[in-house]
């Protein structure tokens, strides 16, 4: 009986999590009449793809998606490189001043300078209104750094010692041995970082002024909040569609890429979270 109740509870939790997604998906593929009449629940009514075709015609959402893809791909490479190159030496007890460095890093996790000092710093570096204003402030996540450091510390020291006997130096050991033996953490962080970059919003809103550089989440926010879709998309044909259909289609387009990637990295994602909770 307990198993049945537990199963029913889990099904209820799963439905609660899936309901908003299914409803938005149904609205995006439904006709304007059915959306206006409130007939759409979990299944499209009078199936059509007009809301999606309008986004393809205007292209504004896809310009924002291009920007987000650039921010995500390049940003992930930079963040993974920075985190790896910092975590590996910190995992070695022979590093001089290791405890001081760890305390300094931990301090940044607990205390921050605030938005205004960050804005002034980026302004003095002359990287405002560029992608670097998004990449640089979050180049290394302290949480992810400690997770990767814990993984590196779990590697038997004999492996590296044998490589050094064969003449390998530290960069070669890191590249050809450590990273190959620690693929799970690389895969986990390769999901943590892209999800954060894909959903970047506040940094883009604060540090970017050029509308051609705006990422997907900012454009999506503008689309959802705008009272007149024509003022944002400059297309009178949108009057033929309900705003809710247009917004739902935009949400589906923005979420779809991450949903495609997540299942392939889920097991590493869970493993990384569990490691962080135990050793982080």
3-state secondary structure the chain: CHHHHHHHHHHHHHHHHHHHHHHHHHHHCCCHHHHHCCCCCCCCCCCCCHHHHHHHHHCHHHHHHHHHHHHHHHHHHHHHHHHHHHHHHHCCCCCCCHHHHHHHHHHHHHCCCCHHHHHHHHHHCCCCCCCHHHHCCCCCCHHHHHHHHHHHHCCCHHHHHHHHHCCCCHHHHHHHHHHHHCHHHHHHHHHHHHHHHHCCCHHHHHHCCCHHHCCHHHHHHHHHHCCCHHHHHCCHHHHHCCHHHHHHHHHHHHHHHHHHHHHHHHHHHHHHHHHHHHHC
Is there a domain that residue 8 lies in?
Answer: no
Exposed/middle/buried for residue 219 (C-beta within 10 Å: 0-12, 13-18, 19+): buried
CA 129 vs CA 90, 125, 126, 223: distances in Å: 33, 11, 9, 21
Task: Judge if 42 and 167 occupy the same domain.
Answer: no
**pLDDT tens per residue across span 197-255:** 988 988 998 999 888 898 988 888 877 776 444 444 444 444 455 677 778 888 888 88
Task: Judge if 44 and 123 occupy the same domain.
Answer: no
Task: Judge if 85 and 193 occupy the same domain.
Answer: yes
Is there a domain that residue 3 lies in?
Answer: no
Task: Judge if 19 and 31 occupy the same domain.
Answer: yes
**Average pLDDT in the 86-112 region?**
88
Task: Judge if 261 and 125 occupy the same domain.
Answer: yes
Is there a domain that residue 9 lies in?
Answer: no
Q: Are 209 and 160 in contact (CB under 8 A)?
A: no
Pick from 48, 69, 91: which residue ends a domain?
48
What is the residue range of 22's domain? Answer: 15-48
Is there a domain that residue 10 lies in?
Answer: no
Is there a domain that residue 2 lies in?
Answer: no
**Does the pLDDT at position 27 exceed 90?**
no
Per-residue confidence (pLDDT) for residue 252, from 0 to 100: 86
Task: Judge if 21 and 66 occupy the same domain.
Answer: no
273 — pLDDT class (breaks 50, 70, 90): low
Task: Judge if 100 and 20 occupy the same domain.
Answer: no
Task: Judge if 165 and 42 occupy the same domain.
Answer: no
Total number of domains in the chain: 2
Place of tokens 């890093």: 105
More confident residue, 16 or 280: 16
Task: Judge if 22 and 79 occupy the same domain.
Answer: no
Stated pTM of the model? 0.78
Per-residue confidence (pLDDT) for residue 67, from 0 to 100: 93
Is there a domain that residue 188 lies in?
Answer: yes
The CATH number given to whatever domain includes residue 110 is: 1.10.3720.10
Task: Judge if 171 and 238 occupy the same domain.
Answer: yes
Per-residue confidence (pLDDT) for residue 152, from 0 to 100: 84
Degrees to nearest 5, angle at CA 243 with 237 and 215: 95
Is there a domain that residue 1 lies in?
Answer: no
**pLDDT tens per residue across span 140-194:** 989 889 888 888 887 777 777 788 887 778 788 888 788 877 777 787 788 888 8
58 — pLDDT class (breaks 50, 70, 90): confident
Task: Judge if 147 and 167 occupy the same domain.
Answer: yes
277 — pLDDT class (breaks 50, 70, 90): low
Task: Judge if 113 and 43 occupy the same domain.
Answer: no
Per-residue confidence (pLDDT) for residue 226, from 0 to 100: 61
**pLDDT tens per residue across span 112-134:** 888 889 999 999 999 999 999 99
Q: Are 154 and 275 in contact (CB under 8 A)?
A: no
Is there a domain that residue 44 lies in?
Answer: yes
For residue 46, is it left (φ>0), alpha (ψ between -120 and 50) or beta?
Answer: left
**pLDDT tens per residue across span 82-94:** 999 999 889 888 8
More confident residue, 49 or 228: 49
Neighbours of 210 (CB within 10 A): 9
């Amino acid at each position: 009986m307990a198993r049945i109740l537990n199963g029913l509870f889990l099904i209820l939790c799963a439905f609660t999590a899936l309901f908003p997604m299914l409803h938005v998906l149904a609205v995006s593929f439904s006709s304007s009449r059915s959306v206006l009449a409130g007939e759409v629940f979990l299944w499209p009514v009078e199936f059509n793809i007009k809301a999606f075709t309008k986004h393809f015609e205007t292209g504004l959402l896809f310009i924002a998606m291009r920007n987000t893809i650039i921010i995500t791909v390049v940003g992930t490479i930079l963040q993974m490189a920075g985190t790896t190159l910092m975590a590996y030496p910190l995992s070695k007890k022979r590093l001089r001043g290791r405890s001081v460095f760890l305390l300094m890093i931990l301090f940044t996790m607990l205390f921050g300078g605030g938005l205004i000092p960050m804005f002034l710093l980026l302004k003095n570096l002359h990287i405002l209104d560029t992608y670097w204003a998004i990449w640089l402030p979050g180049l290394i996540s302290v949480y992810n750094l400690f997770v990767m450091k814990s993984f590196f510390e779990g590697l038997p020291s004999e492996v590296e010692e044998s490589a050094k006997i064969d003449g390998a130096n530290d960069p070669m050991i890191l590249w050809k041995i450590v990273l190959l033996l620690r693929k799970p953490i690389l895969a986990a962080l390769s999901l943590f970082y892209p999800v954060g970059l894909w959903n970047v919003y506040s940094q883009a809103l604060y540090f970017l002024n050029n509308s051609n550089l705006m990422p997907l989440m900012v454009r999506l926010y503008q689309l959802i909040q705008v009272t007149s879709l024509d003022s944002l998309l400059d297309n009178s044909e949108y009057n033929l569609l309900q705003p809710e259909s247009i917004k739902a289609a935009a949400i589906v387009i923005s979420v779809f890429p991450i949903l495609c990637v997540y299942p392939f990295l889920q097991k590493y994602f869970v493993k990384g979270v569990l490691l962080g909770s135990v050793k982080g």
